[in-house]
Structure 1
Amino acid sequence: MPPLQPLLWAPQAWIDQGHGGQWHTGVVLHVGSDGHWSAIQPGVAVPPADARVLAGPVLPGLVNAHSHAFQRAFAGLAERREGEADDFWSWRDRMYRVALRISPAQLQAVAAELYSELLRGGYTQVCEFHYLQHQPDGSPYADPLALSWALADAAQATGIGLTMLPVLYQRAGFAQATLREDQRRFATTPAAVWHARQALQQARRPLLNAGIAVHSLRAASRKSIAELQRLSEGMDDGPLHIHIAEQTQEVDDCRAANGARPIEWLCREFTLDARWQLVHATHALPSEIEAVARSGAGVVICPSTEGNLGDGFADLPSWLGAGVPMSIGSDSHVTRAWPEELRWLEYGQRLLKRQRNVAAAPVEGHPATASRLFDAALAGGAAAAGFASWGLEVGARADLLVLDPQDSALLGLPPERTLDALVFSSPCDAVREVYVAGRRVVHERRHWQHEALHTGFDSAMQALWAPADA
């Protein structure tokens, strides 16, 4: 790994002092031996003699709050329609082809390439919603966590932070007691999920932590979800994620089976708290959003994947207006940079409402759309990854992004408009350097292990997608 840099100086840095972030000039950043910020001092015009001078404005890294790493191997391979219709469910059937064949070594190679791409896209932590558990025939590996360790090894090789979320997955649908044959690699129980979480957490690997997840209400019974919640009662250092209300068919099926919509039913049947993260929550009524807000739970929106799959539009103004913690994820990884996620989060609302700057809230002191979305994703991402603090604040992990002010999207703009242009002036390739825990893992837009990761990824893809399988 690259060496720790104990002292940094930035000409500008985005610091949140309790009322939303803003740019500060001349910022000295002290990194402790534990890889966390030990002191942050704005207003220092002259860099200290022993500081590394950063060559552009500095932002905190964001948490990518929802990832299925193996689906990176499928990106770009579902963009044709041979039949009368194509939707999430037909996409899922095709996606299972890679889920049924990828090996631990191939998963590690694919994930390592993905994680290096996420770093270059401005993410420094990723939450891995991990439901691929067993051998291709459905039998357990000698080490039941073989695929989990493959992901952890990939993260360690790239230097990204990883929140592992082993997933409860038991049935194919509300009216089906078991999994489909092509879901055989996913089968878990509450006890197995909890054991996996404990083993991952107790490994004490650098930059690795773990929570738990429920795939969806359609994939687990109330009894099993309740058992997993009981097992996790003492878990105060990890999140609990669940896919919910992503598709209208899921909403209809839940109403038929349970007499209530998914979010409505979840809030009624379980005691949600700040550990819970509702992934997608695309089809939510105002009453459901209010219930989530009262609980303290968060929502994870994945705009590029939701757009790619035709899911629909999340009710962004209502989620923000209710004060629900919000984070973003790249999910199936058709896009791997957070500026594009935030851009399409806003553009979706503009298309839907035929208005501009929908996410801005000037009455509340947030006239800039980009900064309101960035600050929301920054704060919400901390909870989604199970962290008490995140960003450029003392005690948080020493992660940051260095932007290139000479990038054509930023060139010549007033410094206070940097974040606006980063999100809304496209194409933009302005992330020049990335630090994780005080170590520089991306320099001049290249990951420090670029060649090796690229070669491994290419070999894995060649093996997975021979010409007859493409």
Structure 2
Amino acid sequence: MNSGIKTFFTPQAWVQGAWAKDVLLTVAANGSWHSVQPGATAQQQAGAVQLPGPVLPGLVNAHSHAFQRAMAGLTERRSAGAHASDDFWSWRDRMYSAANRITPEQLEAIAGQLYAELLAGGYTEVCDFHYLHNDVSGAAYADPAEMSLALVRAAQRTGIGLTLLPTLYMRSGFKAAGLREDQRRFSSTPGSVMRVVEQVRRQTQGDARIHVGVAVHSLRAAEPAALKELTAAAKQAGLPVHIHIAEQTQEVEDCIAHTGQRPIEWLLNNAEVDARWNLVHATHATAAELQGVQGKGAAIVICPATEANLGDGVFDLPAYAAAGGKWSIGSDSHVTRSWPEELRLLEYSQRLTLRQRNIAARVLGHESSAAGLFEAALAGGLPATGQMQAGLAPGQRADFVTLDLEFPALLGVPAGHLLDALVFSSPGAAFGEVFVAGQRIAAPSPEGAQAFARAMRELWAG
């Protein structure tokens, strides 16, 4: 056998959209799959590492704001005052109070805890949509990539794959000339974003788990000329592009008032949207807009737990599936850190809206809702990262997790229904081992948890 190849064996693995038996998995020296062979004989299995349970590909978490992990559970009390309302915009003000406190050291500790939790939740890559560029006073750090590199260090320490997305953020709204005082940390330009990209690339050269892309916070946060400049630079460099869009009805109304078009409509008509683009949320999109996204080859990132937590609304999965659209999953504000929970909530939101069952199975063309959801989210990892991360197949990065069949949610479940039980039997099953680029991920260190606890005490003391 070729030097540097690792060989694993599992009695059951998810291959090309279905469970396969007796699968021999070989990993090339560069951390990608060399071969995936179902039906391996006993002789072929000899010498392979025996994996402790059924194998699933790792999923890409396509939308993360790592610092918001520090807020999980701390925004669930009603606003004070007889006429106070609780919605996305009031939550955003609370989020800003956290954003304007966090130091690079605290961010690294918070991201380290988050990334360890995402690995435990079955994710093997995270796309961090990162806009905390400046210090707490709003002044630029001596190293413009200071906060970005805190995320890189956290990813390298935990072993998760990271696609860092430094984010363009220039104004507070469509009619604003600049940022609000409480947005001063977010200030950036197309040039500053690309400088962060270049520096992170230099400092992580040779690390196959660290990649970069770019993000535009939203249409309201960037002038059209700046959006065009940044996305042209990203296209030249072959980078994925992410953008928040059509998350809130007020955002849609403001865009219509300012431009005469809906947000996705404007983007499709005025930007060079293509297969590298990832539209985050798209909660309030028309069927025509969803068809337009698919027509451009772009993808949508759905974040069911955060969209529910913030009261955003329900994504129109049937309309997008009818258009043949690509999508991925993200945990965004990290009120949950497990992909089975995200997929379960996506399906349940459809059931509550339509008052039917097994919506994903029907609209995605699968017998199983869990299989339809998982396969779609798996395929969506390619546009989200710009990397080969879409399952157990030669050439894809060798990311995978094993299932613990002793966990109560899976105990005694027939082999063909394991994915269904993983997604729809709650509380969710525990994953066993996690591998990224063919490397087994070690258990989190106690020091990481202690650093996270210390950062939380410092942030929220008093």
Q: Taking structure 2 as the reference length, what is the TM-score of the superposition? A: 0.96
Q: Does 1:226 align with 2:222?
A: no
Measure how far apart 1:228 and its partner are: 1.1
The amino acid across from 2:31 in the alignment is G
Contact 1:5/1:438 (8 A) holds in 2: no
- Describe the superposition over 1:41-97 as per-residue Cα deviations: whole angstroms up to 9, x where unpaired: 110143723211111110000000000000000111000003331000000101111
Tell me if 1:25 matches 2:25: no
Where does residue 6 of structure 1 map in the other structure? 6
Q: Is the 8 A contact 2:55 2:400 kept in 1?
A: yes
Q: Does 1:282 align with 2:278?
A: no
Cα distance in structure 1, aligned partners of 2:436 and 2:388 = 17
1:365 to partner: Cα distance? 4.7
User: Any residues of structure 2 matched to 1:107-118 within 5 Å, and which?
Assistant: 107-118=107-118
Give per-residue Cα distances to partners, 1:200-225, cap 9 Å, x unaligned: 23432341010101000010011111
Please give the per-residue CA displacement for 1:269-311, whole angstroms capped at 9, x wherever unaligned.
1121000100000000011011111100000000000000000
CA distance in structure 2 between the aligned counterparts of 1:101 and 1:80, rounded to whole angstroms: 21
Match of 1:53 in 2: 50
Alpha-carbon distance in 1 for matches of 2:361, 2:47: 41
Does 1:341 find its partner at 2:342?
yes
> Paired residues, what number?
453
The match for 2:33 is 37
1:361 is displaced (CA, Å) by 2.6
Aligned counterparts of 2:254 and 2:134: Cα–Cα separation in 1: 28
CA distance in 1, matches of 2:100, 2:447: 26
Q: How does 1:443-462 map to 2 (within 5 A)?
A: 448-462=443-457
> Structure 1 runs of 4+ off > 6 angstroms?
none
Are the aligned partners of 1:277 and 1:300 in contact in 2 as well (CA < 8 Å)? Answer: yes
Q: Give the AA of the match of 2:217.
A: H
Counterpart residue number, 2:187 = 187
Equivalent residue letter for 2:74: L
SS of the residue corresponding to residue 359 of structure 1 reads: helix
Pick from 212, 215, 225: which aligns with 1:213? 215
Alpha-carbon shift at residue 232 of structure 1 (Å):
2.3
Aligned to 2:406: 406
1:25–1:45 contact (8 Å) kept in structure 2? no
User: Deviation string for 1:224-263 (max 9, x for gaps)?
Assistant: 1111122223122x21000000000000000000001000
Counterpart position of 1:63: 60
Identity of aligned residues (%): 55
Matches for 1:14-413 after TM superposition, within 5 Å: 14-16=14-16, 21-46=17-42, 48-83=45-80, 84-203=84-203, 204=205, 205-236=207-238, 238-361=239-362, 365-413=365-413
> Once the two structures are superposed, what CA deviation does each residue of 1:368-392 show, in whole Å capped at 9, x if it has no partner?
1110010000001121111145211
Report if the CA contact (8 A) 1:129-1:166 is conserved.
yes
Give matches, 1:418-457, under 5 Å: 418-442=418-442, 448-457=443-452
Q: Could you say what the CA RMSD is over the residues aligned between the two structures, in angstroms? A: 1.4
2:232 and 2:432 map into 1 onto residues whose CA distance is 45
- What does residue 445 of structure 1 align with? none
Equivalent residue of 2:334, what SS?
A: coil
TM-score (ref. length: structure 1): 0.94
